[in-house]
Amino acid sequence: MSDFLTDYQLELQQLARRIAEEKVRPRAAECDRTGEFPWDLIKTFADVGFYGVYIDEKYGGSGGGVMELVIITEELSRACGGISLAVAATALGAFPIMLGGTDEQKDRWLPGIAAGKTLTGFGLTEPGAGSDASNMKTTAVLDGDYYILNGVKHFITNAGVAKLYTVIASTDPSKGIMGTSAFVVEEGMPGFSYGKEEDKMGIRASMTRELIFQDCKVPKGNLLGKPGRGFINAMQTLDRSRPGVAAQALGIAQGAFDLAVDYVRKRQQFGQSIAEFQGIQWMLADLATEIESARALLYKTARLIDSGATNISKFSAMSKLKCSDVAMRVTTDAVQLFGGYGYMRDYPIEKYMRDAKITQIYEGTNQIQRMVIGKNLLKEAQQKG
């Protein structure tokens, strides 16, 4: 089914699916076991233009949008949710530049990102400020031609492999979150280092580390937009990146479902394929319905964002919430369908369950998504009177 995709989007989907099957799937188990970052696949993704699909043509991209990013992320995640983050997390780090950068800043950084030469990361979360961004402790103090950053950013995807990081820091603590600003921090800047590599339950092919700033000197020219716009930039970024998490979750769900269908067709019990049992068919029917409904919501959200709509927070949160909850249900039931084999690492299905869990947590827990949705619903009702 085309899902009402354009010819270009269908071609992109087919390309991403082929690369996922031919290049990503053979590497998934090894990267999960070792925690190795798949540098060889980064080159593959760059060569076919995946890093530029959502970036304007004048900066070296192909001029697409969130929809194209969603398509690629979903297809790669069907083979490995961790490896897909090499593309999706770079988009997360690029969005603040696209949203808040000057023309000169976009000219400076976006072409390298679009070409896949420069991976990026996004520094918002801190050890004491996850969902509570108002508790941010990282500061940036203007000193002549530089801002001096001090603090720690925690659980940062692509940390240690990216060269650029968009970092939110407090420039005026008296104003709380409205006194935060966004900066581009480049690897090698004095006072910038990385923490330990995190040993994660899932998405182990993706690098997760701390960003540590100790009197880090960042040029004034690396400030994105005006001082005090950091939190707004971050929220606008998350509105556009949460569909990427949703796409990752959806791809994980679809990949697990495909493996489960294949397994139940081949598994023999009581003299017949277990796919012949009504209970199994009902489970598959429910899972397939959930996946398709999640995909419809996600694609609607991506199209809404690309249309230029400004009130996108509700649908962005809905798509992330729905797709990640579906991914957790589908992967849990898929392990059940595999029976005892599903619990063994000799079979790939348990990895999908481990990879799915993080999609309910990062870029705002699903409890936070429900708060975002609820507040928007009440705001809309108030506006209607």
Tell me the C-alpha distance between 142 and 163, whole Å.
Answer: 23
Phi, psi of 218 (to 5 degrees): -115, 120
Q: Hey, what's the torsion of the CAs at 98, 117, 356, 278, to 10 degrees?
A: 100
Beta bridge partners of 213: 151, 192
CA distance readout (Å), 213 to 109, 138, 189, 314: 21, 8, 10, 34
On whether the CB atoms of residues 320 and 326 are closer than 8 A, the answer is: no
What is the secondary structure of 259-326 as a DSSP string?
A: HHHHHHHH-EETTEEGGGSHHHHHHHHHHHHHHHHHHHHHHHHHHHHHTT-S--HHHHHHHHHHHHHH
Q: Which residues contact 11 (CB under 8 A, 6 or more apart)?
A: none
Q: Facing residues of 169 across strands?
A: 181
Partners of 180 in the beta sheet?
A: 170
User: CA–CA distance from 117 to each of 46, 87, 257 (Å)?
Assistant: 8, 12, 34
- Which of 4, 100, 83, 89 is closest to 37 using CA atoms? 83
* Residue 363 known to be catalytic: yes
Q: Which member of 74, 290, 350, 363 is catalytic?
A: 363
Convert 290-316 to b/e letters by CB count within 10 Å (16 or more is b): bbeebbebbbebbbbbbeeeeebbbbb
Q: Which residues are annotated as catalytic? A: 363
